[in-house]
Amino acid sequence: MNPKIKLFIVVAVSTLTLALGWNPLYITPIFFLVLLSIFLFKVYKKLLGWLKFLVTVGLLIILIQTFTYSGFGFSFEGLTYGMTFSLRFLTLILLVFVFVHTTPTRRLVEAFSFLPYPLSFMLMLSLSLLPKIEDLAKTIVNAQKARGLNFKTLNIFKVYPPILIPLLSKTLEKSQQLALALQTRGFE
C-alpha cells in the first residue's frame, strides 16, 4: 500500500479516536479493529515483547482514574473515564505500531516526503540512528551482564544507570561524529 495512504489512514483513525467523546463503547470497536489489523498484518510476534508493558500501563491508567477521578475513593465516572483513556492510549500506540512495522524505513520516509527538506532529513536521520542505538544498547547490556549485573532485581536505580549512562555518553559522542561527517560532506 502507498505509504502516504497508510499515513492518511493512521491520521484519520487517530483523529476519530480522539474525537469520539468519553464513552468507552464508542472507542472499543476501533480498538478491536486495530487489534485485528495486528493479526492481519502478522506483526503480533513483534508485539509480544511490548505486551506486558502496554497492559500494565493500560491497567494503571484505569486504576488511577477509578480511584482518583473525584477525590480519593471508587467512582463509576472514574472507571468509565479510565477505560476510555486507556483504550485511546492503546489504540493510538497499536496504530502507530502497525504502521511502523508494516512499512519499510525507506517507504516510511517517503510517507513524510511532503514535509520541508530539513524536517524530512531529520526524520530520516533519526530513523537511521535507531538500529545503531539499539545495537549499542545490546552491547552495553551484554557487557554489564558479563560483569555480573543482575537484571532480575527490581531496584531500577541499580539496573538502569550502568546501562543508560554509557549509552547516553556513547550516543552523544557518536552523534557528534555524525555531525562532523555531515559538515565534511557539505551539509550546513
Q: Which is nearer to another protein, 33 or 182 (CB)?
A: 182
- What is the three-state SS of the chain? CCHHHHHHHHHHHHHHHHHCCCCHHHHHHHHHHHHHHHHHCCCHHHHHHHHHHHHHHHHHHHHHHHHHECECCCCHHHHHHHHHHHHHHHHHHHHHHHHHHCCCHHHHHHHCCCCCHHHHHHHHHHHHHHHHHHHHHHHHHHHHHHCCCCCCCCCHHHHCHHHHHHHHHHHHHHHHHHHHHHHCCCCC
Which amino acid does the sequence have at 18? L
User: Does the protein bind another protein through residue 15 (CB under 8 A)?
Assistant: no
Q: Answer yes or no whether residue 174 interacts with another protein by CB under 8 A.
A: yes
Could you say which residues in the range 133-162 bind another protein, by CB under 8 A? none
Number of residues near another protein (by CB under 8 A):
22
Minimum CB–partner distance for residue 185 and another protein (Å) = 4
Stretch that binds another protein, among 30-38, 84-92, 158-166, 178-186 (CB under 8 A): 178-186
Q: How far is the CB of 7 from another protein (least distance, A)?
A: 17
111 binds another protein (CB under 8 A): no
- As measured in angstroms, the least distance from the Cβ of 139 to another protein is 12
- Cβ of residue 98: shortest distance to another protein, in angstroms? 21
Contact status: 132 vs another protein (CB under 8 A): yes
Binding segment for another protein among 34-42, 53-61, 72-80, 126-134 (CB under 8 A)?
Answer: 126-134
Of residues 21 and 186, the one with the C-beta less far from another protein: 186
| Buried b or exposed e, range 104-133, using 16+ CB within 10 angstroms | eeeebbbbeeeeeeeebeebbeeeeeeeee
Site residues (vs another protein, CB under 8 A): 105-106, 109, 124-125, 128-129, 131-132, 174-175, 177-181, 183-188
